[in-house]
Structure 1
Amino acid sequence: MKRKVLLIYTGGTIGMEKDYETGSLRAFDFGNIFEKMPEMKLMECEVFVHPFEKPLDSSDMGPEEWKVIAHYIRKNYDEFDGFLILHGTDTMSYTASALSFMLKGLTKPVILTGSQLPIGDLRTDAKENLLTSLYYASLYENDKAVIREVAIYFEYKLLRGNRTLKYSAEYFDAYASPNYPILGQSGVHLNIIKENLYRPDPEIEFHVDDHISEDIIFWRIFPGMNLNHFKEIPEMKVLILQVFGSGTIFSSEKTMETLQQIRNNGTEIVVVSQCISGGISFGKYENSNIFSRIGAISGKDMTAESAITKAMHLIGNPNYPGSFAENFSRNLCGEIS
């Protein structure tokens, strides 16, 4: 039996072609993808295409678009065996992370991919990314999906979506998962490392929780930063601080006073690391103890993208009993070690 995969095209470089009169890139009609890539007709799965009415640059993708994708998957969940989302590369990790929190009890593959060069270029990476993503999106054993989570496939590697970050704007190998091993790798054989795959609670039936709050600010700490600017921050529910190393910040009475004032205003403070690899460890150095004293929340080894979307999903979400701090510290879908 041929598996059915729903391909959702949101926009991005993968769906572009060059206008040879102007030299500019423009979106082509993705409904004609089978003409651009006749190889897709040779796949061992049936592919059905649903393009966004207006293709979006990934910089225009946000909470409303995440909800559209999540609900479209829900609407078609019973009809299809897997889902492939074509997406621009710049914010793909944000979308993958957000969907991992919104799609509860997922038992089918949801794969995101894109490309660094348009599908019509001679040297494009688009075709390999697209074709292999379709294999992963339709991979079943004993009538059960092998992948039951949101993942990104890019340049021969399958990665957990909420563990990824885009680290190169130049190379085809654009994505990394520094704090979690790869889920699979394609070469002569299509390999899956099963012990690395996420397995959802079988008691949870698939559903969408589309709660997203935008009442959040992300701030990167830097040497010599003027903390007086913090007082100009409007009241918000969550402040995510990206700090040095394993959780340090400049030690001064001013730092303590400013952060404590933010906490006293009812703002939760989440701490993530500026390092690509590793994570937060309060107490490792004296200059991290300030966060324990003010009741900040450790982002552990989460990526910034995952921490941001997780916080957006949890703020004021009635479906999570307990405090924000308790829920943020929990491993919801493989986003923290």
Structure 2
Amino acid sequence: MSQTAKMDTHHISSSIPESQVLIIMTGGTICMQRSPSGFIPARDFQQTCLAKMPIFNDGSRPSVSMDVVVNAAGEKRKYASLRTPPSLYDRQVRYTVFEFEELLDSSSIDSKGWAEIAQTIYNNYTLFDAFVVLHGTDSLAYTCSALSFMLQNLGKPVILTGSQAPMLELQNDASDNLLGSLVVAGHFMIPEVCLYFNYKLFRGNRTTKVAASDFAAFDSPNAPPLAVTTSMRTQVNWDLVHRPTSIENFSIRTNLDTTNVACLRIFPGIKPEMVDAVLQLKGLRGLILETFGAGNAPGGRDNAMTNVLASAIQRGIVIINITQCLTGHVSPVYAPGMTLFRAGVVAGQDMTTEAALTKLAYLLALPDSTPESIARDMAIPLRGELTSHSQTVFRHPEGGLSERTTTLTALGYAIAKGDLEKVKDLLRGANNWVVNDSDYSGNTPVHIAAQSPSLEILRYFLLQGASVHLRNSAGRTPLFLAASASLTDHVVLLRKSGAHLHADERAVAEMQARRRPGIWALAGVGARTMKERDELDSRESLEDNEHSSSNAGWNRNVQAMAGSAPA
């Protein structure tokens, strides 16, 4: 078994509570049904398509409902839910489907539709563990790329998928694509905007549609898949996963400037006047230029083409050079490419057209952006959308199980002693993956650090991309454990990093807040009504049990990380 395959089993514990996933239905082929006028969207997708299929509905607890925020005002409505049967990892995923009022064909989606998706995720971010977005395939790669920039400091999986054939058709790819998306979303902490299609999970802003009718409709030419589903397991390439490394809350930016950007494909014989006509469009602020090979374009007689581009750049228009080829990157190794570079055209390296266009629209809309700042940021990776060729790529060491055990044990000692330098030493290079690994009880290093005295160790883990949203076998987040341990600074730091209490934790947290309202208010437990407070009185004893269990749990967890706890 490969090191990566071994690692995947360690990121999952069957005793951790079922995951809660929100499926956002925007439209597309996946929900289509036949009609006299052709395929049209089918409403009530959950009941029409999913409830009747055993792979999407285990038939248990059908009355369980889930709260969904349905508008920007924060209005919540209860939605019926379904649950998948146990996966290969003996885990189940509970989910519900939220349908947009207007179901769109993906060829009609624009920045307004992207903003609606982003806003829905933002409104429900604290209520669900992950999100699956159902979308038409025509513009799916554009939406993936746009959302990757719009969702800032994302700490949870957002997986987009669709299908080439409707789920209600006899032969379709919809069932496998949606089920695979649900399993990945509900089992693996991959805090990126991803695209799942034909058993592969891609980074969303690296994808492009490569086939109009084949089931293998998408590819990621310049980046390997983040995960691949096989008959035995989902193999995640953890060393490729992009994680937030700043201590900030999740937020969204929805005002992409898509109306003032354009895309132009260079072809043999293109006239400088044609390019100039595009660059003279009123209001144009940015252009994606698709060039030959490694970034070459005809200079024209007397360098007329180059002069047209240089003149536009002097007027403040940002021009990004990307290759027409599926693989490879723009590099000024030939004279034509070097000429463009010297004229001020920005090398887009190995970005797809979809990523380059949406990234440019995102940067143009940032406050205080300038042509110079946009040109600079277009050339550096913001969400893993391009390859930094000078960056060293670390891979997991061979002989994974013993290395994992050794590293986790050493981390347990280092955290307990407050030895930050030892922690840094253990996480250098190939061992960085361990920040989201877990012990027998589902505790990650962040769970342990959240209850330990050293605030700087906790801060270091967060800056290395450790997730604040993972739950241990008892269903507890690091934030809950920090508040239970009355570590005020830890709670504040976790909250700044986007942490929030899981819905399943709130009832116990509200009971604990009866005695220690200050620390739990920092953790996000609001004031209760008098009636609700009275109802909590009869459950006071539960709080005492929970508090004592939490304190005892800290000792057991450190012992377990150090390898001294009983099995």
Q: TM-score if structure 2 supplies the norm length?
A: 0.56
Aligned equivalent of 2:216, options 173, 178, 181: 173
Amino acid aligned to 2:289:
L
Distance between the aligned counterparts of 1:95 and 1:118, measured in 2? 20
CA deviation after TM superposition for structure 1 residue 265, in Å = 2.1
CA deviation after TM superposition for structure 1 residue 79, in Å = 0.3
Listed as ranges, the gaps of 5+ residues in structure 1 are 141-145
Contact 1:139 1:147 in 2 (8 A): no
Partner of 2:149: 101
Aligned equivalent of 2:263, options 205, 208, 218: 218
- Flag the structure with higher helix content: 2
1:272 partnered with 2:286: no
Contact 2:263 2:290 in 1 (8 A): yes
Contact 1:320 1:327 in 2 (8 A): no
- Flag the structure with higher strand content: 1
Deviant stretches of 4+, over 4 Å: 319-322
Across the two proteins, how many residue pairs are aligned to each other?
Answer: 329
RMSD, aligned CA = 1.5
Distance between the aligned counterparts of 1:230 and 1:303, measured in 2? 21
Amino acid aligned to 1:67:
A
Pick the structure with greater CA Rg. Answer: 2
Partner of 1:247: 295
Write the deviation string for residues 125-180 of structure 1: whole angstroms up to 9, x where unpaired. Answer: 0001111110111114xxxxx21100000001000000000000121001100111
Q: How has the CA–CA distance of structure 1 residues 271 and 36 changed in structure 2, closer, same or farther, with 3 Å as cutoff?
A: farther
Distance between the aligned counterparts of 1:165 and 1:31, measured in 2? 28
Write the deviation string for residues 270-294 of structure 1: whole angstroms up to 9, x where unpaired. Answer: 1010000011002x00111221221
Q: TM-score if structure 1 supplies the norm length?
A: 0.94
- Write the mapping of 1:73-152 to structure 2, written as runs, cut at 5 A: 73-140=121-188, 146-152=189-195
Write the deviation string for residues 286-312 of structure 1: whole angstroms up to 9, x where unpaired. Answer: 111221221111100000000000000
Distance between the aligned counterparts of 1:49 and 1:316, measured in 2? 32
Aligned equivalent of 1:289, options 333, 338, 363: 338
Amino acid aligned to 1:49:
V
Identity across the alignment (%): 38
Is the deviation greater in 315-324 or in 65-74? 315-324
For the residue of structure 1 that corresponds to 2:216, the secondary structure is coil
Partner of 2:276: 231
Distance between the aligned counterparts of 1:333 and 1:320, measured in 2? 18
Is the deviation greater in 190-199 or in 122-131? 190-199
CA deviation after TM superposition for structure 1 residue 31, in Å = 4.4
Listed as ranges, the gaps of 5+ residues in structure 2 are 1-16, 59-83, 85-91, 388-567
Q: Considering Cα pairs closer than 8 Å and 6+ residues apart, tell me whether 1 or 2 has the greater RCO.
A: 1
CA deviation after TM superposition for structure 1 residue 319, in Å = 7.1
Aligned equivalent of 2:352, options 294, 303, 311: 303
Contact 2:46 2:96 in 1 (8 A): no
Partner of 1:259: 309
CA deviation after TM superposition for structure 1 residue 329, in Å = 1.5
Distance between the aligned counterparts of 1:120 and 1:316, measured in 2? 41
Distance between the aligned counterparts of 1:126 and 1:18, measured in 2? 15
For the residue of structure 1 that corresponds to 2:167, the secondary structure is coil
Aligned equivalent of 1:40, options 56, 61, 83: 56
CA deviation after TM superposition for structure 1 residue 37, in Å = 3.3
CA deviation after TM superposition for structure 1 residue 263, in Å = 1.7
